Chain A
Amino acid sequence: MTTPISPDMSTPLLPAKPRSGIWRQLLKRRLAILGLALIAIAVAGAILAPLLTPYDPNEQMFDGLTLEGAPLPPSEKFWLGTDLLGRDLATRILYGARTSLIIGIVANGAALLIGALVGITAGYFRGWIGNALMRFTDLMMAFPALLLAICLAAILQPSLWIVALVIALVNWVQTARVIYTETSSLAEREFIDAERTIGASTPRILFRHILPHLLPTLIVWGTLGISTTVLLEATLSYLGIGVQPPTASWGNIIFENQTYFQVAPWLVFFPGAAILALALAFNLVGDALRDILDPTQRGRA
Chain B
Amino acid sequence: MKQFLTTTVAASALALMLGLMPATAQEQRDPNAKPGGDIVITYKDDVSTLDPAIGYDWQNWSMIKSLFDGLMDYEPGTTTLRPELAESYEISSDGTVFTFKLRPGVKFHNGRDLTAEDVKYTLDRVTNPKTQSPGAGFFASIKGFDEVAGGSAETLSGVTVVDPSTIKIELSRPDATFLHVMALNFSHVVPKEEVEKYGPDFGKNPVGTGAYKLAEWTLGQRLVFEKNADYWNKGLPYLDKITFEVGQEPIVALLRLQKGEVDVPGDGIPPAKFQEVMSDPAQKERVVEGGQLHTGYITMNTTMAPFDNVKVRQAVNMAINKDRIVQLINNRAVPANQPLPPSMPGYSKDYKGYAYDAEKAKALLAEAGHADGFETELYVMNTDPNPRIAQAIQQDLAAIGIKANIQSLAQANVIAAGGDKAGAPMIWSGGMGWIADFPDPSNFYGPILGCGGAVPGGWNWSWYCNEDLDKMASEADSITDPAKAEERYKMWGTIYEKIMEDAPWVPVFNEQRFTMRSPRMAGADNLYVDPVHIPINYDYVYVNDVQ
A interface residues with partner B (beta carbon < 8 Å): 58-60, 62, 65, 67-70, 84-85, 154, 157-158, 240-241, 244-246, 255-256, 258-264
Contacts of B413 in A (CB 8 A): 154, 157
In the complex, number of A-B residue pairs with CB atoms less than 8 Å apart:
80
With a cutoff of 8 Å between Cβ atoms, the chain A residues found around residue B382 in the complex are 240-241
A129 to nearest B CB, angstroms? Answer: 37
Are B408 and A240 in touch, CB under 8 angstroms?
Answer: yes
User: Shortest CB–CB separation between residue A253 and chain B, in angstroms?
Assistant: 12
Residue interface bits B405-433, CB-to-A below 8 A is 1, else 0: 11111100100000000000000000000
- Residues from 184 to 212 in B contacting A, C-beta threshold 8 Å: none
Task: Say if the beta carbon of B256 comes within 8 Å of chain A.
Answer: no
Per the 8 Å Cβ criterion, residues 250-272 of B in contact with A are 251, 270-272
Q: Is B331 positioned at the interface, with any CB of A under 8 Å from its CB?
A: yes
A259 pairs with B271, CB closer than 8 A: yes
CB pair B272–A263 under 8 Å, yes or no, is yes
Contact call B388/A69, Cβ cutoff below 8 A: no
Q: Once the chains bind, are A259 and B270 in contact (CB under 8 Å)?
A: yes
User: Distance in Å from the Cβ of A85 to the closest Cβ of chain B?
Assistant: 6
Other contacts beyond A58-B391, A68-B275: 7, CB < 8 A = A69-B327, A70-B275, A240-B382, A246-B394, A256-B384, A259-B251, A261-B272
CB-defined contacts of B274 to chain A, threshold 8 Å: 68
CB-CB < 8 A to B394: which residues of A?
A: 246
Docked Cα-Cα span, A246 to B396, in Å, equals 13
When chains A and B are docked, how far (Å) is the Cα of A240 from the Cα of B382? Answer: 6
Shortest distance from the beta carbon of A18 to any chain B beta carbon, whole Å: 47
Does the CB pair B406–A246 fall under 8 Å?
yes
> What would 19 A/B residue contacts be, using CB atoms closer than 8 Å?
A65-B328, A84-B388, A85-B388, A154-B409, A154-B410, A154-B413, A157-B413, A158-B409, A240-B383, A240-B384, A240-B408, A244-B405, A244-B406, A245-B388, A256-B388, A258-B384, A259-B385, A262-B273, A264-B272
**Chain A residue contacts of B392, Cβ below 8 A:** 60, 85
Task: Say which residue of B272, B324, B331, B391 sits within 8 Å of A245 (CB atoms).
Answer: B391
Binary interface profile of B, 371-412, with partner A (CB < 8 Å = 1, else 0)? 000000000001111011011101100000000011111100
Question: Which A residues are in CB contact (< 8 Å) with B324?
Answer: 62
User: Is there a chain A Cβ closer than 8 Å to B276's Cβ?
Assistant: yes
Are A263 and B276 closer than 8 Å at their CB atoms? yes
Taking a contact as CB atoms under 8 Å apart, the answer to whether B327 and A157 are in contact is no
Count of chain B residues near A, Cβ 8 A: 32
Q: Is the CB of A244 within 8 A of B395?
A: no
Task: Give min CB distance, B540 to chain A, whole Å.
Answer: 32
Top 9 nearest A-B pairs (CB, nearest first) are A240-B382, A260-B272, A69-B330, A69-B327, A259-B272, A246-B391, A245-B387, A245-B406, A60-B395
Are B272 and A68 in touch, CB under 8 angstroms? no
Does chain A have a CB within 8 A of B329?
yes
Contacts of A157 in B (CB 8 A): 407, 409, 413
Most buried by A among B251, B272, B331: B272
Cα-based distance from A264 to B407 in the complex (angstroms): 27
Interchain CA distance A158-B406 in the complex, whole Å? 10
Residue of B whose beta carbon sits closest to that of A247: B406
For the complex, what is the distance from the CA of A69 to the CA of B272, rounded to whole Å? 10
Whether the Cβ atoms of A67 and B327 lie closer than 8 Å is yes
Q: Which of B273, B331, B406 contacts A263 (CB 8 A)?
A: B273
Q: How far is the CA of A284 from the CA of B331 in the complex (A)?
A: 47
B406 touches A69 (CB 8 A): no
Q: A268: shortest Cβ distance to chain B, in Å?
A: 12
Q: Are B408 and A60 in contact (CB under 8 A)?
A: no
Distance (Å) between the CB of B333 and the closest chain A CB?
11
Q: Is B331 a contact partner of A85 (Cβ separation < 8 A)?
A: no
**Are A84 and B328 in contact, with the CB atoms below 8 A?**
yes
